[in-house]
């Protein structure tokens, strides 16, 4: 039949982590049939009974042992009909943010290795995964300026300097730290705790935490989050 479609649907996950003032992405090493091994984004084909989001969650759990806190659909990749030499595959990509400092990753199923890579040290990936990653980094940078998603990359309690460094690192810009602190704290959804940092050098500093309930309440009342850099 002329109109018969032999097209497969896949999902790919771009999992970002942040530690030691560096942005990382989670990659798996996989062997595709008789081809040589490549690093790639976690993901795979969607099962007939699955939703797209359920497929992403399953693939990440099976291939990397990662459980997600934040996940959002990024883009659909399929204009290049030869993006996968084996079949016509359309991929729906999702990007996710996790606290990489408190995460046990473990390769399983068809993933032979799983590893964090610094964004500027990512190798040549399988298929069009470098393009997918590029699109995800662009989305992350843009969204950081109008939604406080950066807290999903930090521990539950964090130093304020860690939040400042996160913005500087990901946006690749220096900030006026004094004004940044004043503005962020003025919103009222970041709270100082009574917990002190475990860092042994220098003056002990209290940790902060993000109050998501307060933020959601502000959003319902028409609050608009915005971070601008010169």
3-class SS letters over the chain: CCCCCCEEEEEEEEEEEEECCEEEEEEEEEECCCCCEEEECCEEECCCCCCHHHHHHHHHHHHHCCCCCEEEEEEEECCCCCCCCCCEEEEEEEEEECCHHHCCCCCCCCEEEEEEEEHHHCCCCCCCHHHHHHHHHHHHHHHHCCCCHHHHHCCCEECHHHHHHHHHHHHCCCCCHHHHHHHHHHCCCEEEEEEECCCCCCCCCEEEEECHHHHHHHHHCCCCCCCCCC
Rounded mean pLDDT of 30-57? 86
Burial class (CB in 10 A: 0-12, 13-18, 19+), 111: buried
Are 12 and 43 a contacting pair, CB within 8 Å? yes
**pLDDT for residue 86:** 76
- The model carries a pTM of 0.91
Are 119 and 33 a contacting pair, CB within 8 Å? no
For residue 140, pLDDT beyond 60? yes
Band the pLDDT of 29: cuts 50, 70, 90. Answer: very high
For residue 228, pLDDT beyond 80? no
For residue 123, pLDDT beyond 80? yes
Burial class (CB in 10 A: 0-12, 13-18, 19+), 158: buried
- Output the average pLDDT for the chain: 89
For residue 33, pLDDT beyond 80? no
Instruction: Count the residues in the chain.
Output: 230
Rounded mean pLDDT of 108-123? 90
Bridge pairing between strands 111-118 and 22-31: antiparallel
- Dihedrals phi, psi of 111, to nearest 5 degrees: -95, 125
Burial class (CB in 10 A: 0-12, 13-18, 19+), 167: buried
pLDDT in tens, 151-183: 999 999 999 999 999 999 999 988 888 899 999
Q: How many CA atoms lie within 13 A of 53 on its CB side?
A: 7
């Amino acid at each position: 039949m002329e109109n018969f479609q032999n097209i497969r649907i896949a999902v790919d996950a771009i999992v970002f982590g942040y530690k030691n003032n560096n942005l990382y992405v989670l990659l798996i090493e996989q062997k595709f049939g008789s081809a040589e091994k490549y690093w790639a984004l976690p993901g795979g084909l969607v099962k007939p009974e699955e939703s797209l989001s359920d497929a992403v969650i399953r693939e990440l759990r099976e291939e990397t042992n990662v459980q997600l806190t934040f996940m959002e659909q990024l883009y659909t990749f399929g204009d290049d009909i030869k993006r996968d030499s084996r079949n016509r595959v359309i991929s729906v990509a999702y990007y996710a943010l996790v606290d990489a400092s408190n995460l046990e990753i473990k390769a399983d199923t068809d993933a032979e290795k799983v590893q964090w890579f610094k964004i500027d040290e990512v190798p040549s990936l399988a298929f069009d995964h470098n393009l997918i990653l590029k699109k995800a980094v662009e989305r992350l940078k843009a969204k950081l300026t109008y939604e406080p998603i950066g807290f999903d990359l930090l521990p539950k309690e964090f130093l304020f300097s860690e939040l400042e460094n996160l913005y500087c690192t990901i946006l690749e810009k220096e900030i006026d730290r004094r004004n940044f602190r004043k503005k962020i704290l003025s919103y009222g959804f970041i709270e100082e705790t009574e917990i002190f940092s475990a860092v042994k050098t220098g003056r002990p500093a209290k940790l902060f935490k993000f109050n998501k309930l307060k933020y959601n309440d502000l959003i319902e009342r028409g609050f608009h989050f915005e971070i601008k850099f010169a």
